[in-house]
């Protein structure tokens, strides 16, 4: 028997330990073209909150009584596909469980890169790093010389944004909650750091960016987005990546400075990592070079054991992670 | 003596007849390079509300005790500049008054175009038509086949958007308030018309655009913007032109569907007509051709007499106009 986290009820607002349970599930027979994988690393990400709702979005909702899904890195145990052999390290979306039978077509065999641990493909070389890279450089069209503001800068995506922006010659202001996280963001090379728990974001941002900002990488929405609107310079570009503030509240987004979008010709651009899969080759090359040059550190928050996966996920909404949150099995 | 409308106090919320007064002003001596103009047509526009506030925006605020400004078409009475002669028809920004002495550099001599009245340069060939044209085709990058939603579609800008969109092969849904205005929008060629006074915008828009929308031309903000976010298709583009709902309220913008910007990769682009002055040649050519082909009707709301200018302006916020609001002197 395998063990898998199943959605047991749909959360109203903030998800709780009542919304999912670890269950024993029988693995199906290993059919032709299928691969049996034992997971080593599971990814938990804020976007999964959206999949807990029963609404159509860019990814389909989780189904009640079914295992949840998410990025995972594992090892092939048995294969009925010629492309995979026992011992191969693979990345796939059958996370939230210890073992799974998955179609070969949905597996990516991970290349062996010197100095790169396999779990990096759940982080800087995966969804989080790719989200940072494409959001900053494509959606927001950030370029050398820009003043860039990043919220949740100690988080998985945010910490990559800070470092990519610095590597590309931008000025970076990061926001994080608490002295420890702020120090971490500073250690990544941010020019200025805002502690959003220490006072109103708008006041801190005005002090940190007296000339205004050209780019905002939005991971949280809410007060941070409003502050960014308030200090945006003419032709500012906002990459709209996530609004963790709004995922659980169910309240409308309320923005005092929204009308500046017109006067300052601001552009807000929503985007999703998967829009840029066609450019993954460039991404691996460019990110790989930054990683090899030591320009892209990552600090993972690692939780041990499948049992802890739900807690790790819930911790994303209370700031329990610095950098990428991972579960090691 | 000339007569001019002066700002007497800054409005809190909706402007009233207490905020401006008609005063006698002495005209200065006609210096070298200056031109004496007698106005024939004055433009009143929603953006002027912003200039009544004492805040820096894309145009400087009106000053208390000084004549207000705005687009005007007039006739040259006397000139101390070689470029202008008595009898010339000119467009300039010394509106809100009957006569003015203005620098020749700030005057545009209007060409005589067959079938085009001079006041068209305050409408379809001026700020309102240009705002519609560049907002739709440049800021929103609307193209043939797109489903376009336009708010305030019976207004000066909106009615031009409807007609330009139809001339360019788009499907158009217009929103207006009341049966008369809706009928007018329909007469302009809109495929569907929503009466926003008859029920919730979102419900009407869902019915009028069952497949969703690709483009939203926003003149009002508020519920219309929220409804557009709710029904936007993937990669939708919003031209953010004005938010008349918010100009007077002072309340934060509250949007229930704002988070769809991410899932649907929506782009919101603020813009101002003057950003595109470098493309005026193309604009005159293209709009001129549409006007000559009868694809661009205009219905002006004409108010008579300088005394009525303030009432005409205030009427913009209560829906008193269909099409462009003008004052004839």
pLDDT at B314: 96
A241: chain B residues, CB-CB within 8 Å:
262
Residue B18 lies in a domain: yes
Report whether B80 contacts B102 (CB < 8 A). Answer: no
* Residue B98 and residue B111 share a domain: yes
A219 and A264 together in one domain: yes
In B168-234, where does DSSP find H-type helix? 179-187, 201-208, 222-231
Interchain contact B256–A (C-beta under 8 A):
yes
User: Is 70 exceeded by the pLDDT of residue A248?
Assistant: no
Task: Please give the residue range of the domain that contains residue B167.
Answer: 127-274
Cβ contacts (< 8 Å) between B58 and chain A: which residues?
A: 262-263
The verdict on A135 and A46 lying in the same domain is no
* pLDDT digits 0-9 by tens, A29-78: 999 999 999 999 999 998 899 899 988 766 789 999 999 999 999 999 99
Helix (H, G, I), strand (E, B) or coil at A46: coil
B221 lies in some domain: yes
- A269: which residues sit within 8 A by CB, 6+ positions away? A139, A140, A237, A238, A239, A240, B265, B267
Q: Testing the interface with B: which of A234, A252, A270, A277 to mutate, by most B Cβ within 10 A?
A: A270
A88 and A144 inside one domain: no
Token pair 């202008």 in the structure block, residue: B84
Lowest mean pLDDT among A69-73, A298-302, A311-315, B12-16: A298-302
pLDDT of B69 higher than 90: yes
In terms of domains, do B99 and B134 share one?
no
CB proximity under 8 Å: B 267-326 to A? 267-272, 275
A268: CB partners within 8 A, 6+ apart = A238, A240, A261, B261, B266, B267, B268, B269
Of A252, A253, A259, the CB nearest to B246: A259
The residue among B227, B229, B252 with the most chain A CBs within 10 A of its CB, best to mutate, is: B252
Total structural domains within chain A: 2
Q: What is the pLDDT of residue B34?
A: 97
* B113 domain residue, yes or no: yes
C-alpha angle B58-B133-A266 in degrees, rounded to nearest 5: 40
pLDDT reported for residue A147: 98
Are A252 and B258 within 8 A, CB to CB?
A: yes
The least confident of A8-22, A114-128, B236-250 is B236-250
Are A197 and A258 in a shared domain?
Answer: yes
- Domain boundary, last residue among B258, B274, B290: B274
Residues in chain A: 329
Determine contact, residues B200/B256, Cβ cutoff 8 Å: no
Q: Are residues B192 and B66 in the same domain?
A: no
Among A222, A261, A274, most B C-beta atoms within 10 A, so best to mutate, is A261
Residue B263: its chain A contacts at CB < 8 A? Answer: 50, 57-58, 270, 272
- Give the nearest chain A residue to B242 (CA atoms): A262
Residue A197 lies in a domain: yes
Phi then psi dihedrals of residue B147, to 5 deg: -95, 115
| Shared-domain flag, residues A201 and A82 | no
Closest CA relative to residue B252, chosen from A142, A252, A201: A252
A43 and A133 together in one domain: no
Quick check: is B284 in a domain?
no
Instruction: Classify B268 as helix, strand or coil.
Output: strand
Q: How far apart are CA B110 and CA B101, in angstroms?
A: 18
The predicted pLDDT at position A294 comes to 87
- Contact yes or no for A265/A126 (Cβ under 8 A): no
Do both B81 and B167 map to the same domain?
no
Query: Which residues 139-158 of A have a C-beta within 8 angstroms of B?
Result: none
Q: Are residues B235 and B186 in the same domain?
A: yes
Whether residues A253 and A161 share a domain: the answer is yes
Look at residues A102, A97, A93, A76 and name the one whose alpha carbon lies nearest to residue A24: A97
Q: How confident is the model at residue B33 (pLDDT cuts 50, 70, 90)?
A: very high
Contact B258 A264 (CB under 8 A): no
Q: How confident is the model at residue B247 (pLDDT cuts 50, 70, 90)?
A: low
Q: Is residue A53 part of a domain?
A: yes
Q: If you measure CA to CA, which chain A residue comes closest to B219?
A: A262
pLDDT digits (tens, 9 = 90+) for B250-284: 788 889 999 999 999 999 999 999 899 888 888 98
pLDDT of residue B268: 98
pLDDT of residue B242: 82
Integer Cα distance of B249 and B316 in angstroms: 15
Average pLDDT, chain B: 93
Kindly state whether residue B17 falls inside one of the protein's structural domains.
Answer: yes
How distant is the Cα of A304 from the closest Cα of chain B, in angstroms?
A: 32
The domain that holds A37 is classified in CATH as: 3.90.180.10
Among residues B252, B267, B44, B14, the alpha carbon closest in space to that of B139 is found at B267
The CATH number for B142's domain is: 3.40.50.720
Split at pLDDT 50, 70, 90, the class of A164 is very high
Q: What is the pLDDT of residues B283-308, one digit of tens each?
A: 988 998 898 888 988 788 999 999 99
Residue B27, domain member (yes or no):
yes
CA distance B239 to chain A (A): 9
Lowest mean pLDDT among A89-103, A144-158, B88-102, B271-285: B271-285
């Amino acid at each position: 028997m395998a063990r898998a986290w199943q959605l047991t009820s749909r959360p109203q607002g903030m998800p709780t330990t009542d919304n999912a349970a670890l269950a024993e599930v029988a693995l199906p027979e290993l059919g032709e073209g299928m691969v049996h994988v034992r997971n080593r690393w599971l990814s938990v990400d804020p976007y999964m909150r959206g999949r807990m709702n029963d609404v159509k979005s860019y990814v389909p909702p989780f189904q009640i009584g079914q295992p949840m899904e998410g990025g995972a890195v594992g090892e092939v145990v048995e294969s009925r596909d010629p492309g995979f052999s026992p011992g191969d390290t693979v990345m796939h979306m059958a996370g939230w469980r210890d073992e799974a039978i998955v179609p070969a077509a949905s597996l990516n065999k991970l290349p062996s890169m010197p100095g790169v641990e396999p779990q990096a493909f759940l982080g800087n070389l995966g969804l989080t790093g790719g989200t940072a890279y494409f959001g900053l450089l494509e959606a927001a069209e950030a370029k050398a010389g820009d003043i860039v503001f990043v919220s949740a800068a100690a988080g998985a995506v945010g910490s990559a944004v800070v470092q990519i922006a610095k590597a590309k010659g931008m000025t970076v202001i990061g926001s994080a909650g608490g002295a420890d996280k702020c120090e971490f963001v500073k250690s990544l090379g941010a020019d200025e750091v805002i502690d959003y728990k220490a006072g109103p974001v708008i006041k801190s941002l005005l002090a940190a960016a007296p000339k205004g900002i050209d780019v905002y990488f939005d991971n949280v929405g809410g007060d941070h987005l409003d502050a960014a609107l308030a200090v945006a310079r003419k032709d500012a570009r906002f990459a709209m990546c996530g609004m963790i503030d709004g995922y659980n509240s169910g309240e409308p987004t309320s923005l005092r400075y929204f009308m500046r979008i017109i006067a300052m010709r601001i552009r807000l651009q929503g985007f999703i990592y998967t829009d840029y899969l066609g450019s993954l080759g460039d991404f691996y090359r460019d990110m790989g070079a930054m990683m090899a040059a030591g320009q892209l550190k990552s600090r993972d928050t690692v939780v041990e054991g499948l049992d802890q996966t739900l807690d790790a996920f819930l911790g994303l909404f209370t700031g329990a992670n610095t950098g990428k949150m991972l579960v090691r099995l």
